[in-house]
Structure 1
Amino acid sequence: MNQLWPFLIFSLVASITPGPTNVLVLGQSARYGLRQAVPLVVLGGAAAASMIVLVGFGLGEVAHWAPALRVALTWGGAWWLSVMAVQLWRAADMQLSTAQVGKPVAGWQAAALQLINPKSWVMALTVTSVFGHAGALWQLALLFWLLSMPCMGLWAALGSAAQRMLPSARAMGWFNRTMAVLLLASTWIAIL
């Protein structure tokens, strides 16, 4: 692993920059608290790391040889994330009580999000083509996961801080609308 430092830097940048998962983690902790964001951080990071192994062992080739599948995943994922953004926008005027805001996102949903998240696919394809070879995929995936958790944890901490700083329904409404716009932007910028 003579490319350890470049890989770690790449993983840090990929994990800490805005994207659908980080926006989801931020919004979850802002609405429900830091504890409710932990499953998203752990399982979302684990799923993204698992994609490194899956792509390295051939899933990337399937996407290469079946372009219709890739297109379907891309547009299906963009549609699903757009629906989430619209729901977040519409929820902007709800009161802050948990009963009225709805259910928090489950950890498995954050893990499933990685399969349709364009940023996760680009990350996995980059890691396997630039840094990976079959013998190191598991180590790279583990390192990515261990590095991604504190990065997403930072987003969760920001959301938790926003929860304390946005005590009114109106302030939380603006926050939710901002998160909806960021979710849409992070989705569509990656595609277009």
Structure 2
Amino acid sequence: MSHSLLIAFVMFATVMFFTPGPNNIMLLSSGLTYGFRPTIPHILGITFGFAFMVGAVGVGLGTVFIAYPVLQTILKYAGVAYLVYLAAVIAMSGPVSPDQDVGRRPMTFWGAAMFQWVNVKGWVMVIGTITAYAAIAAYPWNIAIQVGLSLLLGSISCVAWALFGSALRPILTSPLMVRAFNIVMAILLLASLYPVFMDA
């Protein structure tokens, strides 16, 4: 095992997991809007969904995208469309009161897990992880290490962002303040699409 490469991978993954991106912005907004406990399925969906994607690409799915580049383009623009939709949902979200319609819920486990496949930042992380740090160890242990560290760092990051959002609940007390905060989050979510259009 290459310990220096492992340290470099941990540094890369930590920066990528903890910096603002679609997942973290949505978790922050969900923590504020719904609270931490209802956001747990969203956290688990991101954590396991992303780690599964790392594993799937690492064991060979990435060759499909090399053989059929149009699939990557389709996923990219499907992700853009979905992020625009999510930004609109977040922008229109206000605080949830106890007597409000119970139909309003944060993203589900499966919704968050499937979102990883159209998450532009997620693909940047996966490609960087699989290509730049493949020499951490011999195959398939390199993939197992990458998946394990993605689970660990991803879960810590997701919990931190959701807790940060829920910690804002006592501060942002009025519906107007929550709506304004969510509008800012929606704008940041749209801003995260900037690399996509620069790459187009």
Asked if TM exceeds 0.5, the reply is: yes
* Aligned counterparts of 2:24 and 2:177: Cα–Cα separation in 1: 21
Distance between the aligned counterparts of 2:54 and 2:106, measured in 1?
A: 27
Please give the alpha-carbon distance, in whole angstroms, between the structure 2 residues aligned to 1:95 and 1:33. Answer: 10
Match of 1:190, as an amino acid? P
Listed as ranges, the gaps of 5+ residues in structure 1 are none
Residue 140 (structure 2) pairs with residue 140 (structure 1) = no
Measure the CA separation in 2 of the matches of 1:190 and 1:38: 29
Unpaired runs of 5+ in structure 2?
none
Task: Write the mapping of 1:173-188 to structure 2, written as runs, cut at 5 A.
Answer: 173-186=179-192, 188=193
In the alignment of these two chains, the number of paired residues is 189
1:131 to 130, 133, 138: 133
Counterpart of 1:191 in structure 2 is: 196
Contact 2:34 2:105 in 1 (8 A): no
Secondary structure of the corresponding residue to residue 5 of structure 1: helix
> Could you tell me whether the CA contact under 8 Å between 1:74 and 1:116 is conserved in 2?
yes
What are the residue-to-residue correspondences of 1:157-176 with 2, within 5 Å?
Answer: 157-176=163-182
**Structure with greater helix share of residues:** 1
- Contact kept, 8 Å, 2:33 with 2:95, in 1: the verdict is no
Deviation at 1:95, TM superposition (A): 5.4
Alpha-carbon distance, 1:102 to partner: 2.1
Moved over 3 A (4+): none
Deviations 1:137-158 (A, max 9, x none): 0121011111111112111111
% identical equivalent positions? 31
